[in-house]
Amino acid sequence: MHTEHAEPAAPPARPSYSSGTSDVPLIGETIGTNLLRTAERFPERDALVEFATGRRWTYREFVADVDALAVGLLESGLEKGDRIGVWAPNRAEWTLVQYAAARIGAILVNINPSYRVHELEYVLNQSGTRMLVAARRFKSSDYVDMVERVRPGCSSLERVVFLDGPEWAELSRHRVDPARLRRVAEGLSADDPINIQYTSGTTGFPKGATLSHHNILNNGFFVGELCGYTERDRVAIVPPFYHCFGMVMGNLACTSHGAAMVIPSEGFDASAALAAVQAESCTSLYGVPTMFIAELDLPDFANYELSSLRTGIMAGSPCPVEVMKQVIERMGMSEVAICYGMTETSPVSVQTRADDSLERRVSTVGRVGPHLEIKIVDPETGLTVPCGESGELCTRGYSVMLGYWNEPDRTAEVIDSARWMHTGDLAVMDEYGYVSVTGRIKDMIIRGGENIYPREVEEFLYTHPDILDAQVIGVPDERYGEELMAWVRLREGAEELTAEALREFCAGELAHYKIPRYARVVDEFPMTVTGKVRKVEMRERAKEMLGIG
Segment 332-372, tens digit of pLDDT: 999 999 999 999 999 999 999 999 998 898 889 999 999 99
Is residue 426 included in any domain, yes or no? Answer: no
Which positions ≥6 away from 425 have C-beta within 8 Å? 342, 392, 393, 437, 439, 440, 441
Q: What sign does the CA torsion over 116, 119, 125, 131 have?
A: negative
Q: What percent of the chain has pLDDT over 90?
A: 81
Confidence of residue 200 (pLDDT cuts 50, 70, 90): low
Mean pLDDT of 123-152: 96
In this prediction, residue 534 carries a pLDDT of 87
Residue that terminates a domain, selected from 169, 189, 209: 189
For residue 4, what pLDDT is reported? 59
Could you give the CA distance from residue 294 to residue 525 in angstroms, rounded to a whole number? 13
**Residue 429: which of 390, 382, 455 has the closest Cα?**
390
* CATH number, domain containing residue 496: 3.30.300.30
Q: Is residue 212 part of a domain?
A: no
Average pLDDT over every residue of 301-329: 91
CB 110 within 8 A of CB 195: yes
> What is the arithmetic mean of pLDDT over 513-537?
87
Q: What is the pLDDT of residues 391-419, one digit of tens each?
A: 999 999 999 999 999 999 999 999 999 99
- Residue at a domain's end among 189, 217, 241: 189
Give the contacts of 3 (CB within 8 A, at least 6 positions apart).
Answer: none
184 close to 104: Cβ distance less than 8 angstroms? yes
Which is more confidently placed, 298 or 533? Answer: 298
Note the pLDDT of residue 529: 66
Q: Which pLDDT band, with edges at 50, 70 and 90, does 451 fall under?
A: confident
Q: Which of 11-15, 30-34, 126-130, 268-272 has the lowest mean pLDDT?
A: 11-15
Within a domain: 245: no
Q: Which residues constitute the domain of residue 97?
A: 57-189
Residues in the chain: 549
For residue 317, pLDDT beyond 80: no
284-293, pLDDT tens digit by residue? 999 988 899 9
Split into its structural domains, the chain has a count of 2
| Average pLDDT for the chain | 93
Is 494 a member of any domain? yes
Least confident of 28-32, 73-77, 451-455: 451-455
Residue 131 has phi, psi (to 5 degrees) of: -130, 140
Question: Residue 72 belongs to a domain with what CATH number?
Answer: 3.40.50.980
Q: How far, in whole angstroms, is CA 130 from its chain's centroid? A: 26
Domain boundary among 128, 154, 189: 189
Least confident of 150-159, 301-310, 475-484, 536-545: 475-484
In a domain, 130, yes or no: yes
CA–CA distance, 450 with 426 (Å, rounded to integer): 16
Q: Is the predicted pLDDT of residue 233 greater than 90, yes or no?
A: yes
- pLDDT at position 512 over 90: no
Q: Report whether pLDDT(203) > 50.
A: no
Residue 100 maps to a domain: yes
The yes-or-no verdict on residue 279 having pLDDT over 90 is: yes
Predicted confidence band at 259 (pLDDT cuts at 50, 70, 90)? very high
* Residue 202 scores a pLDDT above 50: no
pLDDT of residue 180: 97
- 195 in a structural domain: no
pLDDT computed for residue 29 by the predictor:
98
In a domain, 493, yes or no: yes
Banded model confidence at residue 533, pLDDT cuts 50, 70, 90: confident
Q: Select from 290, 361, 366 the least CA-distant residue to 321.
A: 361
The pLDDT of residue 116: 84
More confident residue, 99 or 480: 99
Q: Which has the higher per-residue pLDDT, 391 or 478?
A: 391
The pLDDT confidence band at residue 488, using thresholds 50, 70 and 90, is very high
Q: How far is CA 500 from CA 12, 445, 503, 505, 506, in A?
A: 46, 21, 5, 9, 10
The pLDDT of residue 6 is above 90: no
Distance of CA 47 to the CA centre of its chain: 22
Determine whether 122 is exposed, middle or buried from the number of CB atoms within 10 Å of its CB (0-12, 13-18, 19+): middle
Determine the Cα–Cα distance for residues 49 and 281; give it in Å rounded to an integer.
12
